[in-house]
């Protein structure tokens, strides 16, 4: 049976609360530092061509995800409208794709801005984790007020090698990671919704190199729309509704 612990109030005052406050302050400080490091050309006025291509990708994605709700004839006509090799909205000539990729990699400002963004995230989080690991390692900082399965032990009790402790107890190191990936709501209140990009999204963006390329997005969405098989859902809805009514009548 899992062991029940009584947490000292000093752990709350000297571990839990300071760790949470420091994580919030570091997030706010990192936002302003990144804002100061941003070059004047990092956020120019949006290019109408790029905006148009982005909207085309969104419309094509909506068509692909909701294809089963329109008849086959309507889907085919819309598919040709987007994927036609001559004048389709998603068709990108090879010469234009190569030029866009070359321009993206030859822009030094884009590379510098990307490096600054990565440094503004990696350096503070590395120092913060070293600080937490040195001063607060091994503490049981909090207890979740509902039961959890043993699968959550590795996530909530990082740094504690006690299998007899109940899974609902959270170690100080795990509390650091929970704050690292879960403070988006608080940052949206402090900094605004547009400025509250959480660290999980930033880590995913770091693997994207120089960012999203609209030309590559058009080609990728065209390939996805080409391979999709239309399956109209309306005829199946009648059978599904009939089955549901039969089950209700049997009850």
pLDDT digits (tens, 9 = 90+) for 150-193: 888 888 888 887 778 888 899 999 999 999 888 888 888 888 76
pLDDT one-digit tens code per residue, 11-40: 888 889 999 999 999 888 888 887 787 665
Does residue 240 form part of some domain? yes
Specify if 3 maps to a domain. Answer: no
Asked if 222 and 88 touch (Cβ cutoff 8 Å), the reply is: yes
Query: Span 198-222, mean pLDDT?
Result: 60
**For the chain, how many structural domains are there in total?**
1
> Is 2 contained in some domain?
no
Q: Supply the mean pLDDT for the chain.
A: 79
Q: Which helix (H) or strand (E) holds 141?
A: strand 140-143
What whole-number distance in Å separates Cα of residue 214 and Cα of residue 114?
A: 17
Is 127 domain-assigned?
A: yes
Domain assignment present for 224? yes
* CA distances for 220 relative to 77, 224, 245, angstroms: 20, 6, 42
- Is 44 domain-assigned? yes
pTM tops 0.85? no
Handedness of CA 88, 94, 99, 101 (dihedral sign): positive
CA-closest candidate to residue 211, choices 111, 123, 99, 121: 111
Per the structure, the complete domain to which residue 115 belongs is given by 9-250
Coil, helix or strand at residue 143: strand
Whole-Å CA distances, 47 to 51, 86, 160: 6, 24, 52
What pLDDT is recorded for position 100? 57
230 within a domain of the structure (yes/no): yes
pLDDT at 115 over 70: yes
Residue 24 located in a structural domain = yes
Q: Is the dihedral of CA 38, 110, 44, 212 positive or negative?
A: negative
């Amino acid at each position: 049976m899992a062991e029940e612990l009584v947490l000292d109030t000093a752990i709350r005052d000297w571990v839990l609360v300071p760790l949470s406050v420091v994580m919030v302050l570091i997030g706010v400080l990192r936002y302003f530092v990144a804002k100061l490091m941003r070059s004047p050309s990092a956020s120019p006025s949006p290019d109408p061509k790029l905006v148009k291509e982005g909207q085309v990708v969104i419309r094509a994605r909506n068509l692909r995800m909701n294809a089963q709700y329109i008849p086959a004839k309507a889907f085919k006509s819309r598919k040709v409208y987007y994927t036609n090799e001559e004048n389709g909205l998603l068709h990108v000539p090879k010469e234009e794709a190569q030029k866009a990729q070359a321009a993206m990699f030859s822009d030094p400002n884009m590379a510098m801005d990307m490096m600054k963004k990565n440094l503004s995230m990696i350096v503070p989080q590395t120092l913060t984790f070293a600080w937490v690991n040195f001063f607060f390692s091994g503490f049981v900082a909090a207890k979740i007020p509902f039961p959890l399965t043993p699968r959550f032990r590795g996530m909530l009790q990082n740094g504690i090698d006690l299998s007899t402790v109940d899974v609902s107890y959270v170690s100080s190191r795990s509390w650091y990671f929970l704050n690292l990936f879960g403070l988006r709501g608080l940052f949206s209140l402090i900094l605004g919704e547009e400025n509250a990009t959480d660290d999980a999204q930033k880590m995913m963006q770091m693997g994207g190199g120089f960012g999203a390329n609209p030309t590559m997005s058009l080609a990728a969405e065209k390939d996805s729309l080409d391979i999709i098989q239309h399956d109209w859902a309306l005829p199946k809805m009648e059978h599904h509704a009939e089955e549901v009514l039969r089950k209700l009548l049997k009850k």
